[in-house]
Amino acid sequence: MTLRRLLLAATVLATPGVALAQGTSSSPWYSPMGWLPTAAAEPVSGVYIGAGAGWNHSDARGLTAQGGNAAYFDGTSGNRQGNLGFEEGFMGALSVGYGFGNGFRTEIEGSYRYNNVDRLGGFQNRAGGAPGVAFRNIDGDMQQYAVMANVFYDFQLPRWFPNMPVAVVPYIGGGVGYMWTELEASGARLPAGANSVRIDDSAGQFAYQGIAGLAFPITAVPGLSVTAEYRYTGALQTKFDGTVRNPAGGVVSRGSYEVDQAHNHSAMLGLRYAFNQPVPAAPVPVVAPAPAAAPAPARTYLVFFDFDRADLTDRARQIIAEAAQNSSRVQTTRIEIAGHADRSGSPQYNQRLSQRRADAVAAELVRLGVARSAIGVQAFGESRPLVPTADGVREPQNRRVEIVLR
């Protein structure tokens, strides 16, 4: 519910057509609607690389003896079902991906997992059968190599205070791919002198995973983030060759062991670096209140526009009227007007649109009595965004005209 409220508030506060006056408050962003959030973290746009490492837990799995091994257990214990357990282990992953600038990312990932074998058992005796169902001298390990294609979505959360850095970017994802498993496991059945079970083989199978994580952007290095994530990774059931051997090492039976589906739970810390990530725009300076007797050296007003529009709203006219009145009160020698546009549309169209917006503001100032010779008009199109965005993104704070009294 908290996330839903945050997103709803951000949408309402960013509604197009709201005109703001900068310099009329001690805070850089104030309007009759209340405090506005500053820009959120930039969505990943373009190529990025990532790496991480951490803890891996592999669930215990059932074993089913097949072939000659099945015949052996059928004849000695009457049960061909066993089980295999693992110690806590570790994993690592490397990835290269591409961000689309709208929260979605896709990547190719390679990963490695390692767990020691700590339990081998089962193949229990039938009633009245020979004793000796426990195992001793258990040894072995499991290594898993996987190549996965993943898709992610990053949730862009606003910052609610001008000087507070972005704390976190949550993300979710999933992927499919292929996993190769190298399994070595052995254990001797009790009592001493009994035969032993050995598995030593590798096999590949279809794999899948779900991911939930948090990214912590490093503001000092644009594009760099620390990541923390949980992963569930599974792989389909598969078979591994193995034997039953006597105490001297001779093969008593040969066949395979069908191993149940793999279930891995991992927690990782890592780093992600996005190339060509835009550098956040420097904050607009705030004019400190001057003593009543001394005029401020410069004063800035911001007029915002609806999407793809250059006509003035009622609130915009109020801001322009305030600028016109103050231009005579503070002994202004020149009024600078700069038009801007967001990145939705072509650069050429946005250049013309920002010019129309600047001309509309200049015309309103002249109508209010400001001399045209005291006004300088410039148009910057989408080249100087207040909030950097990916191409094609509609950003209300970039659809603006700045009025500076000097």
Q: Are residues 252 and 339 in the same domain?
A: no
CA 132/CA 187 separation, integer angstroms: 13
CA angle 339, 340, 341 (to 5 degrees): 140
Q: Are residues 197 and 128 in the same domain?
A: yes
Q: Are residues 158 and 181 in the same domain?
A: yes
For the cut 50, the answer to whether the pLDDT of residue 373 exceeds it is: yes
74 Cβ contact partners less than 8 Å away, ≥ 6 residues apart: 80
- Residues 14, 387: contact at Cβ < 8 Å? no
In this structure, what CATH number is given to the domain that contains residue 103? 2.40.160.20
For the cut 70, the answer to whether the pLDDT of residue 274 exceeds it is: yes
User: Crossing angle for the helix pair 347-367 and 314-329, nearest 10 degrees?
Assistant: 60
CA 345/CA 398 separation, integer angstroms: 13
Q: Kindly indicate the confidence band of residue 159, based on its pLDDT and cuts at 50, 70 and 90.
A: low
Q: Are residues 313 and 376 in the same domain?
A: yes
Better-predicted residue by pLDDT, 141 or 222 = 141
118 Cβ contact partners less than 8 Å away, ≥ 6 residues apart: 85, 86, 87, 138
Among 129-133, 368-372, 379-383, the range with the most confident prediction by mean pLDDT is 379-383
Q: Kindly indicate the confidence band of residue 104, based on its pLDDT and cuts at 50, 70 and 90.
A: very high
Which of 113, 105, 177, 179 lies closest to 148, judged by CA?
Answer: 177
* Structural domain containing residue 106: 45-274
Last residue of a domain, one of 227, 258, 274: 274
Q: Are residues 265 and 303 in the same domain?
A: no
Q: What value does the mean pLDDT take over residues 191-203? A: 85
Q: Are residues 19 and 136 in the same domain?
A: no
Number of domains in the chain: 2
CA 110/CA 207 separation, integer angstroms: 12
Q: Are residues 171 and 78 in the same domain?
A: yes
Q: Are residues 290 and 263 in the same domain?
A: no
Q: What value does the mean pLDDT take over residues 7-36? A: 37
94 Cβ contact partners less than 8 Å away, ≥ 6 residues apart: 49, 50, 51, 109, 110, 111
Q: How many other CB atoms sit within 10 Å of the CB of residue 63?
A: 24
Task: Dump pLDDT digits (tens) for 37-90.
Answer: 444 567 899 999 999 999 999 999 999 999 999 998 888 877 889 999 999 999
CA 226/CA 271 separation, integer angstroms: 5
DSSP letters of 298-349? -EEEEEE--TT--SPPHHHHHHHHHHHHHHHHTT-S-EEEEE---SSS-HHH
Task: Dump pLDDT digits (tens) for 345-359.
Answer: 899 999 999 999 999
For the cut 90, the answer to whether the pLDDT of residue 179 exceeds it is: yes
* Paired tokens of 45: 């746009």
68 Cβ contact partners less than 8 Å away, ≥ 6 residues apart: 253, 254, 255
User: What is the predicted pLDDT for the residue at 331?
Assistant: 67
204 Cβ contact partners less than 8 Å away, ≥ 6 residues apart: 178, 179, 180, 181, 238
Q: Are residues 174 and 72 in the same domain?
A: yes
User: What is the predicted pLDDT for the residue at 242?
Assistant: 94
For the cut 80, the answer to whether the pLDDT of residue 148 exceeds it is: yes
- Residues 353, 341: contact at Cβ < 8 Å? yes
Q: What value does the mean pLDDT take over residues 116-144? A: 76
For the chain, percent of residues with pLDDT exceeding 70 = 78
Instruction: Return the biggest CA–CA distance within the chain.
Output: 110
Q: Are residues 147 and 236 in the same domain?
A: yes
For the cut 80, the answer to whether the pLDDT of residue 124 exceeds it is: no
Q: Are residues 188 and 111 in the same domain?
A: yes
DSSP letters of 5-34? HHHHHHHHHT-TT--B-TTSSSSSSEETTE
**Is the pTM value of this prediction over 0.75?**
no
Q: Are residues 367 and 306 in the same domain?
A: yes
In this structure, what CATH number is given to the domain that contains residue 357? 3.30.1330.60
CA 124/CA 83 separation, integer angstroms: 11
Burial 301-322 (b: 16+ CB within 10 A, else e): bbbbbeeeebebbebbbebbeb
Q: What value does the mean pLDDT take over residues 303-307? A: 90
DSSP at 372 = G
User: What is the predicted pLDDT for the residue at 21?
Assistant: 35
Q: Kindly indicate the confidence band of residue 284, based on its pLDDT and cuts at 50, 70 and 90.
A: low
CA distances from 401 to 283, 348, 385 (A): 16, 18, 11
Better-predicted residue by pLDDT, 133 or 288 = 288
376 Cβ contact partners less than 8 Å away, ≥ 6 residues apart: 334, 335, 336, 337
Last residue of a domain, one of 222, 254, 274: 274
Better-predicted residue by pLDDT, 30 or 367 = 367
DSSP at 186 = E
Burial 229-250 (b: 16+ CB within 10 A, else e): bebebbbeebbbbbbbbeeeee
Last residue of a domain, one of 274, 307, 334: 274
